[in-house]
Amino acid sequence: MRINGRFSDAEREAVYRAIFERRDVRRNFVPTPIPDAVMMRLLTAAHHAGSVGFMQPWDFVVIRNRATKRAVKDLFIDANTKASARYTGAKGALYRGLKLEGIEEAPINLCITCSRRRGGSSVLGRSTVRATDLYSTCCAVQNLWLAARAEGIGVGWVSILDHEKLKRVIGVPKSVTVLAYLCLGYVSKFEDQPDLEAAGWRSRIPVGELIHDESWGNRIQDKRGDGDAHHQGLYKNGGRGKNQAGRRTTGVEGQPAGRSLRHDR
């Protein structure tokens, strides 16, 4: 019996592989169409995220039309022109050299929304923390993102868009929140590192600096000295700990050094 059973080592490794090889993809898209059956698998994977009160607040708008993509690309250009003005000097030059979206190159654009009124006024579990319906929808995005990696499909999340204007372009009702605008397509390759890490925009924080033992501030430092060398023998991440530009930036905001690992108490 498989359901409810253990994962084999190979199955477990495949799950970690999808997690560690998933990338926010803005380039390398190839024009090969995504078959309907594959798209249904991805959307069904998204739909099987957990949701507060089993609310399933998401909807999926699947966009292939070139004119719609062009209109969304124009929204990106507007928003990015404003955003890029925040960066000057060398950082500004670096910013303007980054490729931050693949709206027109990707065969499919996908808008994932959150219908905050779904399920009526009393959604189980949401009365205490109102944003949990948005959080559930993010979990659906991540399911899709990982399933796509396993299918060889790259996914890029375009966050530099005015969502109210986007809603008018694709007809999303005022009461519905746009959560994510994604670009999907088969790719010629997945990069070893996140683009922003490779470009030297920002470094990966050692995971040990982010783990607190029992209460905030009792920070755990991984004894092995490399918090990302986590499952050696299970998986190798070729790109960890370096960026192509060889730059280092501050990881966590200035916080005190951590304590030793005390996970064995």
By the rule CB under 8 A, 66 interacts with its own copies: no
Contacts of 217 (CB under 8 A, 6+ apart): 256
Taking residue 249's Cβ as centre, other Cβ atoms within 10 Å add up to: 11
Rounded least distance, CB 248 to its own copies, Å:
13
Nearer to its own copies, 21 or 104 (CB): 21
Binding mask 34-53 for its own copies (x = CB under 8 A): --xx-xxx-xxx-xxxx-xx
By the rule CB under 8 A, 71 interacts with its own copies: no
Binding mask 1-20 for its own copies (x = CB under 8 A): -xxx-xx--xxx-xxxxxxx
The binder of its own copies chosen from 71, 73, 104, 207 (CB under 8 A):
207
* 66-83 core/surface letters (b: 16 or more CB in 10 A; e: else): eebbebbbebbeebbeee
The binder of its own copies chosen from 138, 221, 241, 244 (CB under 8 A):
138
By the rule CB under 8 A, 103 interacts with its own copies: no
By the rule CB under 8 A, 69 interacts with its own copies: no
Nearer to its own copies, 105 or 199 (CB): 199
By the rule CB under 8 A, 119 interacts with its own copies: yes
The binder of its own copies chosen from 32, 93, 96, 152 (CB under 8 A):
152
CA–CA separation, 127 vs 149, rounded Å? 35
Q: Which stretches of 8-74 are assigned E, i.e. beta strand?
A: 58-63
By the rule CB under 8 A, 182 interacts with its own copies: no
In sequence order, what DSSP letters do the residues of 70-122 get, joined into one string? Answer: HHHHHHHHHHHHHHHTT--HHHHHHHHH-----TTTSSEEEEEEEETTTT-S-
Nearer to its own copies, 105 or 119 (CB): 119
By the rule CB under 8 A, 234 interacts with its own copies: yes
Rounded least distance, CB 192 to its own copies, Å:
6
By the rule CB under 8 A, 154 interacts with its own copies: no
Nearer to its own copies, 104 or 157 (CB): 157
By the rule CB under 8 A, 248 interacts with its own copies: no
Phi, psi (rounded to 5 degrees) for 36: -55, -40
Instruction: Give the dihedral of Cα atoms 159, 187, 141, 60; nearest 10 deg.
Output: 90
The binder of its own copies chosen from 73, 107, 150, 242 (CB under 8 A):
150
Contacts of 153 (CB under 8 A, 6+ apart): 34, 38, 42, 184, 185, 186, 187
